[in-house]
């Protein structure tokens, strides 16, 4: 005769020769890769602070342009000031990163951030009170001491997840998606603040967020990587495989810079310049979604081979905006094409940063990743200039050929490097 148990226990039946057990206890699904990632002790706290400090990175340029152009009536001056800040960052950022590796994140990042915040506030005051133009350049150059917040977060993950390649892949994907989200939401937030309240609101709020986020991030000392003050490791620039990888970063930066400029020019040519931000946001959204999906996957093969495939996908998908602009001339269609093309960005960047981490000597990780970011910034500047020239002298639609050419160059560098390495190994 069947025996029954309370509702929360297994129900079983007994016969002469069998025992059948049916388990009705609730089953829980295993946590996903991102839940496991954020379950690492201390991860949520430093991630919150880092995201808070990273959001202004997408706000400052737009805020500065709106603030300066509105007060001085010159987009040329606004562009020159922001370009000066970009150049200063490319020069100063590796030095700040070297100090972070040598003395620790908290000891260097907080005072460096304070200097950058003072530079932003000085720029705000100089614009507001009509100071001479040269003071704008000097004040904005001071913001170059802003630490590489994304690089410091990746360094913490590398320390916490050392030896777990799959978890580190998920962490790098998460950080890349966070980058895309910040650069997608930052300009929107800046435009809203500057347009709704007063022209200086975007810069002011960005400075407060940067300082607050960095203080929260630096306070999480338990997850901070250990300091190696007297490392004998060679410079990341001299590490095997790093120079060509930085050249790839330079070329892919040109993709980003040229795409932004020619998209704005295309929207302006069609009388919808205000919609350019939305169209570019679609590209960032595609990259953000692809980054999260890529992080949930288990990648196969070597990272060098994956990078070549990612660059090939980027080159192929970037032909879609070119075709949409040249053949259809439709801004909505261009937005859809950029959304699709953006899906190649995050996997490529995740794989690039994985290679940077592997090729950078121990104790100099922040410096290595900041050099990669510097390469991207240099490429963005070159791409912006080239894309602007193409839009002016050819057409805005033809300008979309520039990011395709830059992506093809990055692919060529990657393939040439892999071929050279393979030949070297065979000769040995």
Q: Can you say how many angstroms the Cα of residue 50 is from the centroid of all Cα atoms in its chain?
A: 13
What the chain holds in terms of domains, given with CATH numbers, is 43-230 (1.20.1250.20), 231-428 (1.20.1250.20)
Residue 176 · residue 350 · CB < 8 Å: yes
**CA atoms in the 13 A half-sphere facing the CB of 1:** 0
Encode pLDDT of 162-172 as tens digits: 878 888 888 88
**Confidence band for 28, pLDDT divided at 50, 70 and 90:** low
Encode pLDDT of 179-224 as tens digits: 878 877 887 788 788 878 888 898 999 999 999 999 999 999 989 9
pLDDT of residue 212: 96
Whole-angstrom Cα distance, residue 49 to residue 46? 5
Residue 159 pLDDT exceeds 60: yes
Residue 183 · residue 284 · CB < 8 Å: yes
Q: Can you say how many angstroms the Cα of residue 86 is from the centroid of all Cα atoms in its chain?
A: 16
**Of 67-71, 335-339, 415-419, the least confident:** 415-419
**Confidence band for 26, pLDDT divided at 50, 70 and 90:** low
pLDDT of residue 4: 47
Higher pLDDT, 421 or 209: 209
Residue 102 · residue 229 · CB < 8 Å: yes
**Alpha-carbon distance values, 165 to 86, 170, 241, 292 (Å):** 33, 9, 20, 16
Please tell me the total number of residues recorded for the chain in this structure.
Answer: 428
For residue 184, give the nearest of 274, 59, 272 by alpha carbon.
59
Mean pLDDT of 356-367: 80
Residue 421 pLDDT exceeds 70: no
Residue 112 · residue 96 · CB < 8 Å: yes
Encode pLDDT of 238-247 as tens digits: 778 888 999 9
**Over the chain, what is the mean pLDDT?**
83
Q: Can you say how many angstroms the Cα of residue 82 is from the centroid of all Cα atoms in its chain?
A: 19
């Amino acid at each position: 005769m069947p025996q029954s148990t309370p509702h929360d226990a297994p129900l079983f039946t007994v016969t002469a020769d069998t025992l059948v057990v049916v388990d009705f206890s609730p089953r829980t699904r295993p946590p996903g890769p991102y839940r496991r990632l954020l379950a690492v002790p201390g991860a949520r706290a430093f991630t919150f602070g880092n995201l808070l400090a990273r959001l202004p990175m997408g706000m400052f340029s737009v805020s500065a342009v709106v603030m300066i152009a509105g007060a001085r009536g010159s987009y040329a001056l606004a562009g020159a000031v922001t370009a000066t800040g970009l150049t200063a960052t490319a020069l100063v950022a590796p030095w700040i990163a070297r100090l972070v590796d040598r003395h620790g994140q908290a000891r260097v990042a907080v005072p460096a951030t304070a200097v950058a915040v003072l530079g932003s506030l000085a720029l705000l005051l100089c614009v507001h009170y009509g100071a001479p133009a040269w003071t704008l350049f000097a004040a904005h150059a001071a913001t170059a001491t802003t630490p590489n917040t994304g690089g410091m977060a990746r360094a913490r993950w590398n320390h916490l997840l050392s030896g777990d390649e799959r978890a580190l892949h998920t962490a790098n994907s998460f950080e890349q998606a966070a980058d895309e989200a910040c650069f997608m939401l930052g300009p929107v937030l800046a435009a809203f603040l500057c347009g709704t309240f007063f022209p200086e609101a975007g810069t002011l709020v960005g400075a407060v967020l940067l300082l607050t986020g960095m203080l929260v991030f630096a306070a999480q000392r338990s997850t901070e990587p250990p300091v190696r003050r007297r490392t004998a490791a060679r410079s990341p620039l001299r590490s095997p495989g790093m120079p060509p990888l930085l050249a790839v970063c330079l070329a892919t930066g040109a993709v980003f810079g040229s795409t932004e400029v020619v998209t704005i020019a295309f929207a302006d040519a069609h009388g919808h310049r205000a919609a350019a931000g939305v169209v570019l946001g679609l590209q960032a959204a595609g990259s953000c979604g692809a980054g999260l999906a890529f992080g949930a996957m288990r990648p196969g093969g070597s990272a060098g081979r994956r990078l070549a495939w990612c660059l090939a996908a980027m080159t192929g998908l970037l032909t879609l905006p070119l075709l949409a602009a040249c053949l259809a001339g439709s801004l909505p269609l261009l937005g859809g094409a950029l959304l699709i093309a953006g899906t190649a960005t995050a996997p490529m960047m995740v794989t690039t940063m994985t290679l940077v981490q592997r090729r950078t000597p121990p104790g100099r990780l922040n410096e290595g990743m900041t050099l990669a970011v510097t390469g991207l910034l240099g490429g963005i500047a070159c791409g912006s200039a080239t894309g602007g020239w193409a839009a002016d002298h050819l057409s805005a639609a033809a300008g979309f050929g520039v990011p395709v050419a830059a992506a093809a160059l990055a692919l060529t560098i990657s393939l040439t490097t892999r071929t050279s390495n393979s030949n070297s190994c065979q000769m040995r």
